[in-house]
Structure 1
């Protein structure tokens, strides 16, 4: 038996959700002292920002398919 996919539309665009996740992780990291937990949150924030930049690049109108 196959599972049914959740096909609901998101009300917030992907890039905004990524930026919100980055902002929340960075804000949470500011509340923590130096250590592994803070470093993990900062890494999560950087990864979300990088993903947002990649998404922006991939969805830009200037991107052309290879010939």
Structure 2
């Protein structure tokens, strides 16, 4: 049976998502207006939302998102 190769993550999931969102926004800033730019900005917003939800779910006192 093959074993999965496991990687030890250095950054938290939230940090990786925030970094990914920042990179997508930077790439979108260098692009002309259009569908591709809109798609990158949408993915950046989704990464931000995922990071916030992950933080919220991991918190000890679950409170509604703000």
Say yes or no: TM over 0.5.
yes
Residue 7 of structure 2 aligns with which residue? 8
SS of residue in 1 equivalent to 2:31 = coil
Residue 57 of structure 2 aligns with which residue? 58
The structure with the largest alpha-carbon Rg is: 1
TM-score, normalization: structure 1? Answer: 0.84
- TM superposition outliers: structure 1 runs of 4+ over 3 Å: none
SS of residue in 2 equivalent to 1:4 = coil
SS of residue in 2 equivalent to 1:12 = coil
* 1:1-67 matched pairs, under 5 angstroms: 1=1, 3-63=2-62
**5+ residue gaps, structure 1:** none
Root mean square deviation of aligned Cα: 1.2
How many matched pairs? 62
TM-score, normalization: structure 2? Answer: 0.85
Please state how far the C-alpha of 1:7 moved relative to its aligned partner.
Answer: 1.7
